[in-house]
Amino acid sequence: MTSTGFFITLEGGDGAGKTTVIGRVREYLQQQKRPYLVTREPGGIEIAEKIRSIILNPAHTAMDARTEALLYAAARSQHLAEVVEPALQQGMIVLCDRFVDSSLVYQGNARGLGVEAVRSINKFATGGLAPDLTLYLDVDPEVGLSRISANQDREVNRLDLESLAFHRKVREGYLAIAAEEPQRVVVLDANRPLESVEQDVLQVLKDRFLKDIGDNLSN
Ligand code: TMP
């Protein structure tokens, strides 16, 4: 376990439904007695949000893949130092929307920089901090991208504009990580209606909280 807290990450391809699910998880955590923090990458704090807006600006078509990977790692490092590590040290449950796995699959697999190269810059950025639990919302890219185009309120970012082939590589990357680390990564089928996905996410949390932090949390 990470320090005295419990570090959970939420991962998934674009349109997997992370934002909807995270809203429901936040409600669930509010009902518990334990302090918690919900945050997101890249961002959550001023310096990292500024880096996020540079990375995701659809006008920045000239951005080199290495620059992109380094900017994500820089935002992550700042976010960890300012937000995540202090919260974990205080014993909080921290739920982070995206973490290193996103860089491994988007920059390592889909952009083609190689998973090991991206892993090594992230090791430097994070000091090796790893999640206790990762919830991966697995969506067929065609389903994910059609959800995005149906959702008028969502910002369209530079990575949404990538081809279907790019998003397929993202998914293959996630499935490979899940196969390598089945104890850490729980795969949830996010092609189903999001209410079913939410139910499953809450069940996983209840089971893991009981097992790993010994808390008998309420329903
Ligand atoms: P989202 O968090 O709003 O889904 O969008 C952030 C976008 O940034 C998404 O397309 C995935 C991408 N991303 C990376 O490519 N690498 C990363 O390390 C992270 C955190 C996000």
What is the pLDDT, as a whole number, of residue 150? 85
d(Cα 210, Cα 111) in Å, to the nearest integer?
A: 39
The answer to whether 102 and 72 have CB atoms below 8 angstroms apart is yes
What is the pLDDT, as a whole number, of residue 3? 60
Instruction: Report the nearest atom of ligand 1 relative to the CA of 158.
Output: 10
Query: Along the 219 residues of the chain, how does pLDDT read in single tens digits?
Result: 446 899 999 999 999 999 999 999 999 999 888 899 999 987 779 999 999 999 999 999 999 999 999 999 999 999 999 999 999 999 999 999 999 999 999 999 999 999 999 999 999 999 999 999 999 999 999 999 888 888 777 676 777 677 899 999 999 999 999 999 999 999 999 999 999 999 999 999 999 876 766 654 554
CA of 56 to the centre of ligand 1 (A): 8
Residues in Cβ contact with 169 at an 8 Å cutoff, skipping those fewer than 6 apart: 105, 109, 110
Give, using CA atoms, the residue closest to atom 7 of ligand 1. Answer: 159
d(Cα 159, Cα 110) in Å, to the nearest integer?
A: 10
d(Cα 174, Cα 139) in Å, to the nearest integer?
A: 11
Taken as a whole, the chain contains a residue count of 219
Give, using CA atoms, the residue closest to atom 10 of ligand 1. Answer: 159
d(Cα 61, Cα 58) in Å, to the nearest integer?
A: 7
Q: Phi first, then psi: give them for residue 187, nearest 5 degrees.
A: -95, 125
Over residues 108-139, the pLDDT tens digits come to 999 999 999 999 999 999 999 999 999 999 99
Q: What phi-psi label fits residue 17: left (phi over 0), alpha (psi between -120 and 50 degrees) or beta?
A: left
The answer to whether 12 and 97 have CB atoms below 8 angstroms apart is no
The single residue listed with the structure tokens 């991208």 is 145
Ligand 1 contacts (CB < 6 A) are 14, 41-42, 72, 97-98, 102-103, 106-107, 157, 159
Question: What domains sit in the chain, N to C, each tagged with a CATH number?
Answer: 6-218 (3.40.50.300)
Instruction: Report the nearest atom of ligand 1 relative to the CA of 42.
Output: 20
11 membership: H or E segment, kind and range: strand 6-12
Instruction: Report the nearest atom of ligand 1 relative to the CA of 103.
Output: 18
Q: What count of other Cβ atoms lies within 10 Å of the Cβ of residue 19?
A: 15
d(Cα 176, Cα 156) in Å, to the nearest integer?
A: 27
| Average pLDDT along the chain | 91
For a mutational test of ligand 1's pocket, the pick from 159, 162, 166, 170, i.e. the residue with the most ligand atoms closer than 8 A to its C-beta, is: 159
Instruction: Report the nearest atom of ligand 1 relative to the CA of 55.
Output: 8
